[in-house]
Structure 1
Amino acid sequence: MTHISRRTFFRQALSFCLAAAFPPFSPSLLPATTVSHLSLEEMIGAMVIGGFRGFKVSKTLPVAGEIRREDLGGVVLYDYDVPTHTPHRNIASPAQVTSLCKGLQSLRPAPLTIAIDEEGGRISRLKQKYGFPPTVSAQALGKRNDPSYTYRRALGIAKTLKSVGITLNFAPVVDLNINPDNPVIGRLQRSFSADPDVVIHQALAFIRAHHDLGIKCTLKHFPGHGSSTTDSHLGFVDITDTWSPIELKPFQAIIQAKKADAVMTAHVFNKRLDTRYPATLSKRIVTGILRDRMGYDGVIISDDMQMGAIRKYYGFEQAITLAIQAGIDILIIANNTIYDPTAIPRALAIIRGLVDRGTISLSRIEASYRRIMKLKAGQVPQKGHVKTS
Structure 2
Amino acid sequence: MLWGAFLLAHVLTVSMGWVYPSQPMGDVVLVYEPWASSALGGGAIVGVTETWVYPQLALVPMLITKLLATPLVPLLGVSGAYLVAWAVLVTVLDAIAFAVLVGHATSRPRRIAAWFWCAALLLLGPIAIYRIDAVTVPIAVIGGLWFASRPVVAAALLTVGAWIKIWPGALVLAAIVAAKARIRMLLAAAAVTAGVIVVLVLLGADTEIFGFLTEQTGRGLQIEAAAATPFLWLAVAGAARIEYSFEILTFQISAPGVDGVTALLTPLMVVVVGLVVVLGAFKAWQGASFPRLFPPLALSLVVALIVTNKVGSPQFQTWLLAPVILWLVIDGLRARVPATIVLTLCALTCLVYPLGYDALLRAELLPVLVLTLRNVLLLVLLVVGIRALVRVPVDHHRSKNHRSKIKE
Q: Which has the higher strand share?
A: 1
Interval of TM-score (by shorter of Structure 1 and Structure 2): under 0.3
Instruction: Give the alignment's TM-score, normalised by structure 1.
Output: 0.27
Q: TM-score, normalised by structure 2?
A: 0.26
- The structure with the largest alpha-carbon Rg is 2
